[in-house]
């Protein structure tokens, strides 16, 4: 991955930040993208202080013109993008029948439309070069029903199928499109779901009243666990893998 250019959305924290660091540690030049300028700047400053080749780009992934502009700027500054990681995501909790219009539209705008807009902007530049790899960070909730997560699960399911369809269409150009589906991962998003100090224990042991099994491996994933899976799918070790959905959840979805 040395000297190759990667673009990562949601890079200010959590899984996106872990992926950004992992790519840079392997020699990639990384365009770290997020809508939160303050948190993005702080994250990138830490990485560059460690000698990593990372540059911050503020972007609203829900805005088509903003996306096209930022991808163009990233390529002018860093070079042709060879890797894209769609890691930006939002979570709105609530019973399906109680979700507001804004809950639904905001969730899909980032988690599904954002993946579409960013992937389109990047892949249209990859096709003439006949090379590239894309990984979308989805969720095990895309294939497993969860209480109070209808908007999130549906948006991740949409992003999952979009990425697979895209992978089918661009395979003839040597471009691979895959997914990583995390389960409970120790990130700010997961912590926002916890009401008290029992959050980790509940995630590991499960909640029968919510029809949710626990984690057979008896631990939460770390962002670096997800980053490792993302890097594998981007790497030459996965050169014959496309349209694949790699679940990284400690067995929480029981291998289904």
Residues tagged active-site? 152
The 3-class SS string of the chain reads CCCCEEEEECCCCHHHHHHHHHHHHCCCEEEEEECCHHHHHHHHHHHHHCCCCEEEEECCCCCHHHHHHHHHHHHHHHCCEEEEEECCCCCCCECHHHCCHHHHHHHHHHHHHHHHHHHHHHHHHHHHHCCEEEEEECCHHHCCCCCCEHHHHHHHHHHHHHHHHHHHHHHHHCEEEEEEEECCECCHHHHCCCCCCCHHHHHHHCEHHHCECCCCCCCCECHHHHHHHHHHHHCHHHCCCCCCEEEECCCCCCCC
Token pair listed for 129? 């070069």
């Amino acid at each position: 991955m040395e000297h190759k250019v990667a673009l990562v959305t949601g890079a200010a924290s959590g899984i996106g930040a872990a992926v950004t660091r992992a790519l840079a540690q392997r020699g990639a030049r990384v365009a770290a993208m997020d809508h939160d300028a303050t948190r993005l700047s702080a994250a990138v400053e830490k990485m560059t202080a460690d000698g990593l080749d990372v540059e911050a780009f503020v972007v609203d992934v829900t805005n088509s013109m903003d996306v096209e502009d930022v991808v163009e700027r990233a390529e002018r500054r860093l070079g042709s993008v060879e890797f894209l990681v769609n890691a930006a995501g939002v979570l709105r909790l609530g019973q399906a029948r109680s979700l507001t219009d804004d809950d639904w539209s905001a969730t899909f705008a980032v988690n599904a439309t954002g993946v579409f807009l960013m992937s389109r902007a990047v892949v249209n530049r990859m096709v003439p070069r006949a090379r590239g790899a894309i990984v979308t960070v989805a969720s095990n909730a895309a294939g497993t029903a969860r209480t109070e997560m209808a908007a999130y699960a549906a948006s991740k399911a949409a992003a999952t199928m979009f990425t697979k369809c895209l992978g089918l269409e661009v395979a003839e150009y040597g471009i691979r499109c895959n997914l990583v589906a995390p389960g409970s991962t120790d990130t700010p998003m997961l912590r926002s779901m916890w009401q008290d100090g029992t959050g980790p224990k509940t995630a590991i042991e499960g909640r029968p009243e919510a029809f949710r099994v626990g984690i057979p491996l008896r631990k939460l994933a770390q962002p670096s666990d997800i980053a490792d899976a993302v890097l594998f799918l981007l790497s030459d070790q996965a050169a014959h893998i496309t349209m694949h959905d790699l679940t990284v959840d400690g067995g929480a979805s029981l291998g289904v």
